[in-house]
Chain A
Amino acid sequence: MSRPRATVVGVGNAYRCDDGVGPALVAHLAQDPPPGAVLEVCDGEPARLLDIWSRADLAVVVDSLVCSAPRPGRIHRTMVGDLHPAAGGGTHSLGIPGAIELASALGRAPARFVVFAVEVAEVGHGLGLSPEVEAALPELERLVRAEISAEPALP
């Protein structure tokens, strides 16, 4: 089976408000799937991420970004080299940067890897995105589609 050109992974939990931005983006894309792309939703478990990435030339990961003084809905585009392991995180799991590094060590990293991180307002229990993050979805979708068609369209 030939490798798909791209895999889009929405990382997050739809039952934790804005943490569901990744899965929400994947749901948007699924309404008109980009040609040659596989769409996945993942809870962030590293072994599963590794499997998903192994099948792609380009991996686009969409995740929520919790930060101090957030501007909810603000989108960051990040490449692998810019990622650092989260300080103080539980180490039973590797986190996305660790999973990328492990994929490289195993020779299973995609040729190109892009992370879109969206600053979020609320990640407590509950359904639905905050209005600010919801409003960012069209732009996020445009950026991801542009990435897949190898035409980065960042401002």
Chain B
Amino acid sequence: MSDETRRLTVASLARVEGEGALSVTIQDGRVTSSQLQIYEPPRFFEAFLRDRAFTEVADITSRICGICPVAYQTSALQAVEDACGYVVPREVAELRRLLYCGEWISSHALHIYLLHAPDFLGHPDVISLARSDRAAVERGLALKKVGNAVLEAVGGRAIHPVNARVGGFYRAPTRSELAPLAEQLREALDLALATVDWVSGFDFPDVELTHELLAVVEPDRYAIENGTLATASGDTFTPAQFLDHVEEHHLPHTTALQATLDGHLYLTGPLARYSISSGLLSPLAREAAGRAGLGDTCRNPFRSVIVRAVEVVYAVEEALRIIEGYRRPETPSPEVEPRAGVGHGVSEAPRGLLYHRYELAGDGLVRAARIIPPTSQNQAVIEDDLRRLVQSRLGLDDEALTHLCERTIRNYDPCISCATHFLRLTVTGR
């Protein structure tokens, strides 16, 4: 074929959050580059956290994302408390996990039903999907509503919750306040199981990622809001060692930094969590995963929709378990004294691992801040995934190839107020 340059343009890449572009170049039948060009301006959060009080960090960083503010609050609080040498009591830790379950349920339901499912069912958007399968969309909205109810009950409100603070919570809910949630969650469990069955019936392209996987792990349960780090290869390290392994790089085509793990690409998020810790899911979630055709690991990014659905089942069950055994902390938040030091925090945001590091002065003011969000860790893998997919499907026409690129990006649920919003696929010399 001649060395023609072909441009495929999508005016707005739907169903992802953020603004960016994609450029793929193919020369002599080979993909020579694929760039996910994130051009949103830098947001400077790490800079303007400097000289702010350690008590302000969680509320400031929660503003980084309207979809996963609890993840930002939780990683931030852990890092600050780590710097202060404070460990929250079990009751508070469980309440944080409950709050985080609300975010997983809400965010995953949003992604599965409103953003991702239309790709598999031939619909341009959820509105079109609702016209053909009203019951499915109603199921997704009902699930999301339950997730929001958990966020409101524990966090004070669904978007940018305000109740979490250094040491615990401003106010701990009473058992009677959580009781109605349990009723909603029991209904949600049926919806979550139906979701797994629904998405398992989709058609999935045959793709397998070979990259390293990195996730937060706990020894005896599926990690959500706390833990240490583990790779699929079996390496383990602590949050304090995170920056010994993970390095961020600035590349000219993107305003987001790209991270490598010990010099290599790696993936965080549902596939990593599941592949590393699926054995620690609840029996019901494991059974649902098995019924949906998942094995102990899953490396097909298109099937991440099933993993998210399984994680919703688990999060609903976990929320029910926590509410069942809930004892209201006598003191929801003891005063935590600041001290000079460095602290690290990790948690599993719905779309992947979120790392925070803070250096505090003795008066509690932040001297330095470092935040590594999931999508900057995943961006290089997304680009590599695009390169492989385009390379293996060069026979597709431009429209089909562009659509496949969009689907590929959505597999990762990029949420960067930092991901793609505008897709330009440039194919040179096919």
Contacts and interface: CB of A to CB of B under 8 A. Distances in A.
Contact of A43 (B19, B115, B159): B159
A43 B148 CA distance: 13
A92 B15 CA distance: 6
Contacts of A67: none
- The residue among A50, A90, A98 with the most chain B CB atoms within 10 A of its own CB is A90
A48 B15 CA distance: 19
Interface string A74-116: 0000000000000110111010001001100111000000000
Contacts of B148: 45, 47-48
B114 to A, nearest CB: 8
A91 B14 contact: yes
Nearest to A87: B12
A105 B130 contact: yes
Contact of B19 (A88, A98, A106): A88
Contact of B141 (A47, A87, A90, A98): A47
Given A88-B421, A91-B421, A106-B138, A51 B145 contact: yes
A41 B151 CA distance: 17
A interface: dominant SS = loop
A149 to B, nearest CB: 32
B16 interface: yes
A77 to B, nearest CB: 25
Given A43-B159, A47-B148, A48-B148, A90 B127 contact: no
B116 to A, nearest CB: 12
Nearest to B144: A47
A90 B131 contact: no
Interface residues of A, number: 18
A54 B29 CA distance: 54
B307 interface: no
Given A43-B157, A88-B421, 10 more contacts: A45-B158, A45-B159, A47-B144, A48-B158, A90-B421, A91-B13, A92-B66, A94-B126, A102-B126, A105-B130
B117 interface: no
A45 to B, nearest CB: 6
Interface in B132-165: 134, 137-138, 141, 144-145, 148, 157-159
B228 interface: no
Given A45-B158, A92-B67, A106 B415 contact: no
Interface of A: 43, 45, 47-48, 50-51, 87-88, 90-92, 94, 98, 101-102, 105-107
Contacts of B159: 43, 45
Which 3 A/B pairs are nearest by Cβ-Cβ distance? A105-B130, A92-B17, A105-B131
Interface in B302-335: none
Given A47-B144, A92-B115, A101 B127 contact: yes
A91 B118 CA distance: 14
Nearest to B138: A106
Nearest to A51: B145
Contacts of B137: 102, 105-106
Nearest to A93: B66
9 contacts: A43-B158, A47-B141, A90-B18, A91-B16, A91-B17, A94-B126, A98-B127, A102-B130, A106-B134
A43 B161 CA distance: 13
B134 A107 contact: yes
A92 B131 contact: no
Interface string B35-46: 000000000000
Contacts of B115: 91-92
Interface string B401-422: 0000000000000010100010
B336 interface: no
Contacts of B130: 102, 105-106
- The residue among A50, A94, A101, A102 with the most chain B CB atoms within 10 A of its own CB is A102
B16 to A, nearest CB: 6
Contacts of A105: 127-128, 130-131, 134, 137
B371 interface: no
A20 to B, nearest CB: 15
Interface in B351-370: none
B232 interface: no
A146 to B, nearest CB: 31
Nearest to B143: A47
Nearest to B135: A106
Nearest to A44: B159
A128 to B, nearest CB: 20
Nearest to B142: A47
A102 B127 contact: yes
- The residue among B128, B131, B141, B144 with the most chain A CB atoms within 10 A of its own CB is B141
Nearest to A90: B17
A101 B14 CA distance: 16
B193 interface: no
B110 interface: yes
Contacts of B134: 105-107
Nearest to B141: A47
A132 B417 CA distance: 32
Contacts of B126: 94, 102
Interface string B204-228: 0000000000000000000000000
A87 B110 CA distance: 21
